[in-house]
Structure 1
Amino acid sequence: MIRTGDFYRDSIRDGREVWINGERVKDVTTHRLMKPVVDIRARIYDMQHDEKTQTATTYEEDGERYAIGLRLPYEKKDWQDKRDAVDLQMHDIGGIVTRVGDETIGEMWSLWDGKDILNEIDPRFAENIERHIHQAIKNDPFHVSANTDPKGDRSKAPQEQDPDMLVHVVKETDAGIVIRGAKYETAASYSNQAFLKPTIANWGNAELSDYALGCIVKMDAPGVKHICRSGFADRAPAADYPLSSRCDEIDTLMILDDVLVPWEDVLFYQHTRAAAFIRATLHRYSAFPFVQRTLSYADLIIGTALWNVRQTGLDKQQAVQEKLSELAVWREGIDAFLTASIAMAEKSPNGLLMPHQSMLMSGRVHALTNLPRMMHLARELCGGQLCVTPDAASFENPETKPWLDKFYTINDDWISDDRRKLLALGRDLLNSDYAGHRLTFQLFAQSPPFAQLAAVYRNFDWNGPLDFAHKAAGLSDNVWGAKKH
């Protein structure tokens, strides 16, 4: 059944070991740094029950309602429904959150597409992934994805250094496998489970490897420890940092200290081909909701910049309109890639409908390659007051309020308090520690640029351009063998 927000909160009050700022967290649902984002995830759960939003965020099957984000996609409408739900959620919470579950379940769908590969080593593994996918639909857990290891010295194979730098199996038991290592994972400390898989294809020359592992790890399992980075939520008043105080997603170094993974939760093991398959197809589905969130980020950037130039009466200037148009072209490009990836969607090896891969991966490159430049363009439009405006307390203090009212009131429509609020949003969106973190986070959440371009290279249809050039040049047919290489 679809969860409520309170059911979700209760599910993570399980005695898990969470550390932040050098202190053990007693309750992640009430901790000052985690409560804001936990409340956002709870709100998304509650939207599934709210009569105003239930239809858009859930679907009905056999008299039961399920989360639209977890629905297996078989038709184009399934993807459009997911897209509409995410748009509604982002607007409802008034910010951007990346890790809420719908963006990570797709990684499991990718592994399910490789069930023939899993059957090569053990048919139970294909059965396990299928069962977990359907359990996720039924039980509606907060499901995240554990990808990146500490790695250590990348010039060495994992066997040539501390073996725990990459997660690996240390022994088998009748009950399951015991794993050791660590993973970086956003939202792990306040989620229910993670899909753990290898981050790199660096298993040495062995055909079988204890590092080639995919499994489900419960976040409260014995031996799982969460060591979190410090958060932004309590660094400054919410009035000055409206995004940092609500939408900061806590990242975790998840320690796996001899964690037992039951056999029914093992999705592949000692199978380098399965590990290579999931690394090559990991973002086959999940790139879509990630890119869509960048589209939401683009809308927030444009809205903030446009309100600023309208406040100050600069929106009629051609130079300003040109900058706004650049932002719009970037935004519309993201939207076009997403729309085209649905319109040209392809059947996956397992019969699911996956977004057109070349369009989707190209859209990701377009969205993220241009993100830093677009953020700076928005800074230009917002002006230098972003970095020099006093805080909310100064606007409220009787000694300083009259002066700030005088110099920040623009006209009868734009009083100083509204001017301050807009500048606070722009500062947090574009200039704050939180803004810098969100920009760098893209290298982690959506893979680094070289991997994004590699995905385009693997999925682009090179034959069309080759055929065109072949005909235009009048090349002989015997060059077609070279084309294949």
Structure 2
Amino acid sequence: MTLLTGDRYRASLDDGRELYLHGERVTDPARHRAFAPAVDELARQLDLQHDPDHHDLLTYKDPATGHRIARAYQPTRTPEELALQRRSAEFWHAQSLGQHGRSPAFMASIALGVHDFRHRLATGRPEFGANADAWYRHVAEHDLVLSHALGDPQIDRSADPVDDPDLALRVLSEDDRGIVVRGAKQLTTLAPLAHEVLVYLSASFTQRRGEQFVVWFALPLNTPGLITLCREPLGAEPWGHGHPLGARFDEQDAMLFFDDVVVPWDRVFLLRDGDLAREGLARINAWSAYVGHIRFRERLRTLLATATLVAESIGVDGFRGVQEDLGRLAGYAELAEYFLDAAEARARRTDSGLLAPGDTAAARVWSAEVAGSAVDIVRRIGASGLLMQPTAKDLDHPRLRPHLDRWMRGRGVDAPYKSRLFRLAWELTGDGFGQRQDLYEQVHRGDLTRNRINLYKRYDNSEARARITRLADGAAE
């Protein structure tokens, strides 16, 4: 059986990796109180692949091997297969209410992009294309949970890594074993809960004289010399019903330190080829950008549902201004659906013969622009009520409970329900988990200004420009 079960996933994380949290080494994330709820949630979702009600949606039979593989790894060749991948991703992201940015479905789609780009990688070195294909088949066959490492450390972004090589991950040397890399990568979401990491982007790869920083590879997270440092967990424990999202859906973000790590040659996909790296960035993310937008649509739906329930619970759902805000959120969710439909309608055939979703550059810019506004709407409707709600122990206290029942109830709802609802809304929009999710929406698509400029440069406005030029030249007179 290739598909992971929840129990096999839990056991697989006890693999000897060098993982640190709060100054202590964590030997088994699945048993550590800071990680166990998030591990259990991913385990629950992985078990759904074996549920007869979802088996055919979440998995497919690989025609080459006859094995069942997670649907997100499926090379899409027809519109029907692309639509199935969308439905599968919608199911995955509904399970996490759109809070899992680095769900297994998302990262599997990047592995699919690497597989699709293998022919171009082979132009760098023939073995690199074969390596990429072998890695894709390995992670798909074993249903591995993946992460990726993108950004370089924030030490001095005004300096040139060529002058200070600690500013970016770099290749130190090559030998018969492979390449040796030194440096760090941030922000590696899900790394503490994943099996492998894919490294494929450096901020300095555009510089010809800095091509020692241009490298794509993948490694298990228990590779010797690879150190994972976690940020503070966001699923705070002591407050009972106050943190249902952070406890289950905190993916964890991490810093990876590569302490002269040996990357075997069969795990190297690209080396010292900036032009090919630039070409590949869009190609390998064709499916992941599409799946990421599915996740964002689900987050918008979650924010809309929460805002609506909050408004109803305090009797403001009939207010004109509140209805306008809810309408704006509904519009965001509807537009997200349109972008997904457009990506399918504009699907294109790649040079490897796959059918990839159409370009989603405009969707990514729009998403970053409206993400903060969507959160602000929930905050505006909940207002001060988001700040002051009783905890589970407050509700159990005999002296407090009569006062809570009288003055902290809502319209047609009791104090316990209102407390749970408002604390969930606060977690979505205001506490550490909510602020992390909001910041994630701002940064994970890349620099917004750069993306806008790239969109402008790529947009074909030649026909309209020619018409206006003719008018300006007096051609209509």
Alpha carbons 2:368, 2:445 under 8 Å: kept? no
TM-superposed CA distance for 1:8, in Å, is: 1.5
RMSD after superposition: 2.2
Q: What is aligned with 2:419?
A: 420
* Deviation sequence 1:140-181 (CA, Å, 0-9, x none): 1112211111053223321211x2321111121212111111
Partner Cα distance (1:203, 1:320) in 2 = 47
* Deviation sequence 1:224-279 (CA, Å, 0-9, x none): 11111010123542401211222111111011111111111100112222222233
Q: Does 1:213 align with 2:215?
A: yes
Q: What is aligned with 2:53?
A: 52
The correspondence of residues 69-468 of structure 1 with structure 2, limited to 5 A, is 69-94=72-97, 96-150=99-153, 152-161=155-164, 163-184=165-186, 185-202=188-205, 204-206=207-209, 209-281=211-283, 283-357=285-359, 360-410=360-410, 413-457=412-456, 459-466=458-465
Partner Cα distance (1:180, 1:292) in 2 = 35
Deviates more, 1:104-113 or 1:425-434: 104-113
Alpha carbons 1:158, 1:166 under 8 Å: kept? yes
Partner Cα distance (1:464, 1:106) in 2 = 36
Q: What is aligned with 1:32?
A: 33
Letter in 1 for 2:148: S
Letter in 1 for 2:8: F
Identical amino acids, percent of aligned pairs? 25
Instruction: Mark the CA change 1:401 to 1:151 in structure 2 (over 3 Å): closer, same or farther.
Output: closer
Partner Cα distance (1:174, 1:67) in 2 = 35
TM-superposed CA distance for 1:211, in Å, is: 1.1
Partner Cα distance (1:221, 1:454) in 2 = 39
* Deviation sequence 1:413-434 (CA, Å, 0-9, x none): 4122111111111111111121
TM-score by length of 2: 0.92
Partner Cα distance (2:459, 2:41) in 1 = 37
Q: What is aligned with 1:19?
A: 20
Alpha carbons 1:215, 1:268 under 8 Å: kept? yes
Partner Cα distance (1:238, 1:81) in 2 = 38
Q: Does 1:68 align with 2:81?
A: no
Instruction: Mark the CA change 1:399 to 1:191 in structure 2 (over 3 Å): closer, same or farther.
Output: same
Alpha carbons 2:171, 2:182 under 8 Å: kept? yes
Partner Cα distance (2:113, 2:124) in 1 = 18
Letter in 2 for 1:265: R
Partner Cα distance (1:234, 1:108) in 2 = 33
Alpha carbons 1:213, 1:269 under 8 Å: kept? yes
How many residue pairs match? The answer is: 471
SS in 1 for 2:213: coil
Letter in 2 for 1:386: L
Partner Cα distance (2:370, 2:461) in 1 = 24
Partner Cα distance (2:33, 2:159) in 1 = 41
Partner Cα distance (2:472, 2:349) in 1 = 35
* Deviation sequence 1:420-479 (CA, Å, 0-9, x none): 111111111111121111111224422121243245335533345345546766788xxx
TM-score by length of 1: 0.91
Partner Cα distance (1:17, 1:95) in 2 = 30
Partner Cα distance (1:125, 1:250) in 2 = 31
Give unmatched runs, 5+ long, in structure 1: 477-485
SS in 2 for 1:144: strand
